[in-house]
Structure formats: C-alpha cells, structure tokens
C-alpha cells in the first residue's frame, strides 16, 4: 500500500500529467508521497510502543524455481527507512514544484520522482533478495532517467549513462552474491537466510558473500573505487541530487549491509574490509571536496565522504550508529542540496562559487538554513550531525586494533569536512559579491523555502533520537538485529566527553581555519589556495581518476571490442564460412558446368547427406 500510492500517482501522471497542468501535477505527486508517509507512520506506530512483531506479507508468486516471491517485510528497520524516504521525499517533492517551475516536461519530472519513491520503497520493504534486487535496479533506472532529464545537454545524457553502467558493474558483484546465497541456502528469502546463516555458512563463504555484497553496495553508495558516477550525476536537476544522490538511493548500500548483518558477523574479514573502504572513501572524497569550485560538486564529494562514515560504522558492526547517521545525513544533506538549489535558482543557474559571495543579504532564509546545515554536518553540538558522527567514531574507537587507525582517519575527515563546508558557506554567502551586474539574486518562493525550514529544524533536533543519554533509536531498531552482536561506543561519561571533545575540537578547528582563510578579499584566499600548488589542482581534478579510468579501462575495452568485431569476427569467422561457401560453389560449378542454382546445390547437399546416412546404416546394420 505504501508503495502503491506513489506508483499509482506516477501512472496517473504519466497518462494525464500534461492535462492537469503545471503546479497541480506536482502537488498531486507530493500528496501521494506524503500519503505514503502517513500510512507508513500509522503502520509503524506499534513498533514505537515496542509491542509489535515483524510481519511478512506475500503479494504473489514471482519466480518459484529460484525461491523468489513478491513479499514485503515490515520490521523496525524497514519502518525507519520508509519514514526517511517518504518524509524527506515529500519535502523534496514540494520543493521541486517551485524549482521545476516553467520546465516543459514538468509533469514528466514528477512521474519519475514518484516512480523513484516507489522503487526505493520496494528496495527497503522487500522480503527477499530478488525483490530487493528489483528495487535496487529500479532506483538505478530512475537515477538514469532523472540525471539525464535534460537529455538535450550531452553532458547530462552521458552522466546518466555513466551512473547506470558504473552501478551495473557493482550489481555484477551483488548478482554473484545472490547466486552464492541461493546455492548455499536454497532460497533468497530473508527469513530463510538470516535465521539459518550460522548453521549454513562457513566463515569463508560468509566472507565471499560479504565482499560481493560490498561490491554492489560500493556501486550504489558511491564508494572507492566505484564512486566516479556520483559527481557527474550532479548534472541532474537539484531536487534529484537531494533526493536520490544524497538522502535515499545512495544509502541503499548501507541498508543492504545492515540488513545482511548476520552474514557479515560470520566473517572475520568482510566487516573490517567494509569499514576500511568506508574510512578510505571518507578521507579521499573529503580532500577532493576541499578544492571544488562548483557548489554542487562540493556537496557530491561530501556525500561520498559521509557515506564512507556510514560504511565505517556498519563495517564495524555499529549498524545502529550507521543507520543513525544515515537518518541525520538525510536531513542535513537534503537541506544543503536544496539550499544550493535555491542559490543556483537565484543566480540564474550559476554553480561556480567564484562568482557568488555576499548572498546572505539577498536570501536570508536560504542563508540561515544553509548555516544550520553546515554546522550540522561539521559535527558541532548539539546539532544532528554531531551525535551520529560521534557515535560512529565512538564505535570505531571501542573496537580497537585496526579500527583505531580508522578512528583517526575519521577524526581527520571530520576536520576536513568542517573546513570545506565552512569554505563553501563563506564563499557563497559572505564577503563581497563577485557576480556580474546583470544577475539579480533573490530569495526563493515559499514553496521552496518551507522544505528548507522543516529540514533545518530536523537537522537541529534529529540528533536527539539517539544520544548517549537517550537511546530511543537503538531500542527501536534492536528487534531487527536480533542475534547480531552490535558494537557500541564506549560506556561512561568520561570517555564520552573525551571522545566528543576531540571530534568537536577537530570540527571547530576546521571551521575556524576555513573561516579565517576565506572570509577575506578574493585575491587573498586565491593566494591561499595557490600556496598548496599542484596538490590543490590534484584535489580539484578529483585525483584525475576519471582520466585514469578512461585510459586504463574504457579505451582498451573499446579497442578490444573493435578488434574482436572487425579483425576477428568479420575476417576470421565469417571469412572461414565464406571460404567454405566458395569452395562448394567451385566444386559444384566444375561438376556441372552450369550456373550453380541455389535449389540445385541444396539438392546436392541434401542428397549427399541422405546417401551418407544410408551408407552408414548399411555399414552398421551390415
């Protein structure tokens, strides 16, 4: 039912959208998602009071031979994901009514957005891996459609394709994981897998499955080495970036790993590898974010980096910390993206921060809410990001050993995060205006600022769902992780204060450094950036990873395909056939100095074959 509502809306808009006209199609789509939210909240209420049990609803048989039905799991984990998706989703839909104003394919945009929400819900509500995979691929489709929504721009079309194909490479890993799961468990259903995992899986098998799931998750959630599609995906309209590439779809990888917790638990290797990939990605992407000029690219790399934190958490078995950060990140990153969209809107589609500055006075609501988002992501208490990021760092610290190294990486990343976000805020909203005279920045309409305000409020209070003092979220989610050993941050006031103090110090240091570096005339901070020399341009170019992939994978691959097609398939294989054909024709024409009529040569072959067989039979039967 929760899925059906946005799906029905998408279908309806597909056929009648243009007739309904501009704002109404958008409002209808928003209402559908908000309706799902209400339904999800209603159906999820029993879990909040702690009295409900996870339920499974079968819709219909799908592929019985491989143990796949269309079946829904309704447990705390799926409730949480549903509420995030529909809640944040509804706000972004509303915002998009303003943002997409005047676009000639306005209602089409909402068809895709609704379809996305339905797909994402399919993913998180699925009761088996086959259906999860369906949602998994469908969100990829929607991402493709929405990234290349402005398909007349070749970069947008290429970005959509790149996103889909890179995701497919990850999916290959996921698909193989599903094969292994089916081979081991004889089913793909969650119930049949997770309860029996300890009896069925050896630790080697668990490692293999875990690592393959990681490959899939790394594709969808943009982790090293498959993150390259996400920055390009910023070519899509900004509400898309906020919904798909910040708040929901990209977190699917985190969700899958958390869902498969009981498999990861059986492997001594898979979890640490996930955590390491996460930490490495967090640091890697944060350094790239430092040097970006494009307001959306900063946020894109920031998203990759924050997803790295979530991977660090779920890899360290701190699933609840990971999901907690997933939730708060959905709030503040959606806020930041929508804020950035508001700025781009005001600046007549300018995305280069070099050409902004001083916008605070012109768009007070956007500036205030963006400031809240920046503080939240920087990890300054008491805003949301502080609590969730701190819990992740606490978990890593508590695990000790190799995880201590990852903890330090996380701490450094926190400093960098605060730096690049503050840099962005200062470059956009403070200092002297650097835009050209014909641009007239203005505050966005209320339909856009209202979601900003709501998300800002959530970014402020979102952290209190799960503080060391009040572990509401943890209690709520625990039933979904029955039988799994969850990792927790260290106990006790003193440890908390010490760790929190360290990470707050890192955040404040980063923010302060950026503030003093950039809250100056432009030539001064430009000189500051130049002081880093080639390192800065390496960061700005994203370590030239795209070029490297192009030279090492794309180009040789294409060459191989060409060689196969034109140097092998045509001349060698087809050549052999044609050669044989010529031979036959020569023989035939010599034999009967006449035109080699087709039917005749057919007859020759036919008769020859029959004679051969009869001869053989006589010989055998002899």
Partner 1 sequence: MLTALIVMPAVAALIVALIPRQRSELFLPIGVTVSMAPLALAGYLFVEFTAGEAGFQLVERTMLYAPWGFSWYLGVDGISLPLVILTALLVPISLAASVAITHRLKEFVMYTLLLEAGLIGVFLALDLLLFFVFFEAILIPMYFIIGIWGGERRIYAAVKFFLYTAFGSALMMAAIIALAVVAGREAGAPTFAYTDLLDLAIDQSTSRWLFAAFALAFAIKVPMFPLHTWLPDAHVEAPTAGSVLLAAILLKLGTYGLVRFNLGLFPQASVDFVPIMAALAVIGIIYGAVVAIVQPDLKKLVAYSSVSHLGFIVLGTFALTSGGLAGGVIQNVNHGITTGALFLLVGMIYDRRHTKQIADFGGLQKVMPAYGAVFLFTIFASIGLPGLNGFIGEFMVLIGSFPALPVHAIIAAAGVVLAAIYLLWAYERAFTGIPEKPENQKLLDLNLREKVLLAPLVILMLVIGLYPKVLLDRVQPSAEAVLDRIEATTDYVAPAPGRLSQVLMIGEGE
Q: Which of residues 141-170 bind partner 1 (CB under 8 A)?
A: 141, 144, 148, 151-154, 156-158, 161, 164-165, 168-169
Region 192-221 residues binding partner 1, contact defined as CB under 8 A: 192
Cα distance between residue 587 and residue 609, in whole Å: 16
Alpha-carbon separation of residue 184 from 127, 136, 257, 482 (angstroms): 18, 22, 18, 22
Is residue 185 near partner 1 by the rule CB under 8 A? yes
Nearer to partner 1, 178 or 356 (CB): 178
Alpha-carbon separation of residue 241 from 300, 310, 554 (angstroms): 8, 19, 26
Nearer to partner 1, 192 or 479 (CB): 192
Is residue 498 near partner 1 by the rule CB under 8 A? no
Cα distance between residue 477 and residue 114, in whole Å: 27
Is residue 390 near partner 1 by the rule CB under 8 A? no
Is residue 556 near partner 1 by the rule CB under 8 A? no
Is residue 21 near partner 1 by the rule CB under 8 A? no
HEC states along 265-318? CCCCCHHHHHHHHHHHHHHHHHHHHHCCCEHHHHHHHHHHHHHHHHHHHHHCCC
Cα distance between residue 547 and residue 549, in whole Å: 5
Q: Cβ(353)–Cβ(290) under 8 Å? A: no
Region 573-602 residues binding partner 1, contact defined as CB under 8 A: 573-574, 577, 581, 584, 598, 601-602
Separation of first and last alpha carbons in the chain: 74
Nearer to partner 1, 131 or 224 (CB): 131
Q: Cβ(133)–Cβ(178) under 8 Å? A: yes
Nearer to partner 1, 524 or 558 (CB): 558
Q: What angle do CA 451, 247, 45 make, to 5 degrees?
A: 80
Q: Which of the ranges 335-343, 397-405, 424-432, 568-576 carries the binding residues for partner 1, by CB under 8 A?
A: 568-576
- Least separation in angstroms between residue 552's CB and partner 1 is 16
- Least separation in angstroms between residue 62's CB and partner 1 is 7
Interface map 49-68 toward partner 1 (x if CB under 8 A): -------x-x-xxxxxxxx-
From candidates 49, 51, 53, 183, binder to partner 1 by CB under 8 A: 183
For the record, the structure tokens of 34 come out as 């908000």
- Least separation in angstroms between residue 276's CB and partner 1 is 25
From candidates 482, 491, 547, 569, binder to partner 1 by CB under 8 A: 569
Region 422-481 residues binding partner 1, contact defined as CB under 8 A: none
Cα distance between residue 217 and residue 254, in whole Å: 7
From candidates 69, 75, 235, 265, binder to partner 1 by CB under 8 A: 69
- Return the C-alpha torsion angle 128, 131, 134, 138, nearest 10: -110
Unique residue bearing structure tokens 């891996």: 129
Nearer to partner 1, 74 or 337 (CB): 74
- Least separation in angstroms between residue 480's CB and partner 1 is 17
Nearer to partner 1, 128 or 221 (CB): 128
Is residue 177 near partner 1 by the rule CB under 8 A? no
Nearer to partner 1, 133 or 425 (CB): 133
Alpha-carbon separation of residue 277 from 32, 286, 598 (angstroms): 37, 14, 64
Nearer to partner 1, 16 or 151 (CB): 151
From candidates 74, 100, 106, 171, binder to partner 1 by CB under 8 A: 171
Residues 6+ apart with CB under 8 A from 540: 288, 291, 292, 293
From candidates 560, 583, 587, 591, binder to partner 1 by CB under 8 A: 560
Cα distance between residue 167 and residue 155, in whole Å: 18
Nearer to partner 1, 147 or 460 (CB): 147
From candidates 4, 38, 176, 513, binder to partner 1 by CB under 8 A: 176
For the record, the structure tokens of 46 come out as 């029993």
* Rg, C-alpha atoms of the chain: 28
Cα distance between residue 485 and residue 406, in whole Å: 20
- Least separation in angstroms between residue 70's CB and partner 1 is 8
Cα distance between residue 376 and residue 333, in whole Å: 9
Q: Is the peptide bond before 116 cis (omega within 30 degrees of 0)?
A: no
Nearer to partner 1, 134 or 487 (CB): 134
From candidates 40, 89, 127, 339, binder to partner 1 by CB under 8 A: 127
- Least separation in angstroms between residue 476's CB and partner 1 is 25
């Amino acid at each position: 039912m929760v899925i059906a509502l946005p799906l029905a809306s998408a279908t309806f808009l597909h056929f009648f959208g243009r007739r309904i006209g501009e704002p109404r199609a958008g409002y209808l789509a928003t209402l559908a998602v908000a309706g799902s939210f209400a339904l999800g909240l209603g159906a999820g209420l029993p879990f909040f009071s702690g009295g409900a049990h996870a339920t499974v609803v079968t819709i219909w048989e799908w592929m019985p031979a491989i143990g796949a039905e269309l079946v829904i799991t309704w447990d705390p984990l799926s409730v949480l994901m549903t509420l995030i998706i529909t809640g944040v989703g509804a706000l972004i839909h509303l915002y998009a009514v303003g943002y997409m104003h005047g676009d000639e394919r306005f209602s089409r945009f909402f068809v895709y957005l609704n379809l996305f929400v339905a797909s994402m819900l399919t993913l998180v509500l699925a009761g088996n891996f086959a259906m999860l995979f369906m949602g998994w691929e469908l969100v990829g489709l929607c991402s493709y459609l929405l990234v290349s929504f402005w398909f007349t721009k070749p970069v947008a079309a290429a970005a959509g394709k790149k996103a889909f194909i890179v995701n497919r490479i990850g999916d290959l890993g996921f698909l193989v994981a599903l094969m292994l799961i089916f081979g081991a468990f004889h089913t793909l259903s969650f119930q049949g897998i997770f309860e029996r995992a300890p009896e069925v899986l050896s630790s080697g098998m668990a490692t293999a499955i875990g690592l393959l799931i990681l490959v899939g998750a790394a594709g969808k959630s943009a982790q090293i080495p498959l993150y390259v599609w996400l920055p390009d995906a910023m070519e899509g309209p900004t509400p898309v970036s906020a919904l798909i590439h910040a708040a929901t779809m990209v977190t699917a990888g985190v969700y899958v790993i958390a869902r498969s917790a009981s498999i990861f638990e059986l492997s001594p290797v898979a979890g640490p590898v996930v955590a390491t990939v996460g930490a490495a990605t967090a640091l890697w992407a944060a350094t790239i974010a430092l040097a970006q000029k494009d307001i959306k690219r900063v946020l894109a790399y920031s998203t990759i980096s924050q997803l790295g934190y979530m991977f660090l958490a779920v890899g360290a078995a701190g699933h609840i910390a990971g999901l907690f950060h997933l939730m708060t990140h959905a709030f503040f990153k959606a806020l930041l993206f929508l804020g950035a969209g508001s700025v781009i809107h005001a600046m007549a589609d300018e995305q280069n921060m070099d050409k902004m500055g001083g916008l605070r006075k012109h768009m007070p609501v956007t500036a205030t809410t963006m400031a809240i988002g920046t503080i939240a992501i920087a990890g300054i208490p008491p805003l949301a990001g502080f609590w969730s990021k701190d819990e992740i760092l606490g978990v890593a610290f508590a695990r000790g050993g190799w995880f201590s190294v990852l903890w330090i990486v996380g701490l450094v990343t926190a400093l960098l995060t605060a730096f690049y976000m503050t840099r962005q805020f200062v470059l956009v909203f403070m200092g002297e205006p650097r835009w050209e005279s014909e641009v007239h920045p203005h505050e966005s309409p209320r339909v856009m600022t209202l979601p900003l305000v709501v998300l800002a409020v959530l970014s402020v209070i979102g952290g209190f769902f799960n503080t060391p003092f009040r572990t509401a979220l943890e209690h709520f989610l625990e039933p979904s992780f029955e039988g799994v050993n969850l990792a927790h941050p260290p106990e006790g006031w003193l440890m908390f204060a010490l760790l929190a103090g360290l990470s707050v110090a890192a955040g404040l240091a980063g923010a302060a450094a950026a503030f003093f570096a950039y809250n100056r005339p432009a030539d001064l901070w430009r000189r500051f950036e130049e002081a880093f020399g080639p390192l800065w341009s390496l960061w700005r170019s994203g370590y030239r990873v795209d070029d490297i992939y192009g030279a090492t994978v794309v180009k040789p691959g294409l060459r191989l395909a060409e060689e196969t097609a034109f140097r092998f398939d045509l001349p060698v294989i087809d050549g052999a056939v044609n050669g044989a054909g010529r031979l036959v024709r020569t023989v035939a024409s010599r034999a009967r100095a006449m035109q080699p009529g087709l039917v005749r040569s057919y007859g020759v072959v036919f008769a020859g074959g029959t004679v051969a067989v009869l001869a053989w039979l006589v010989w055998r039967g002899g």
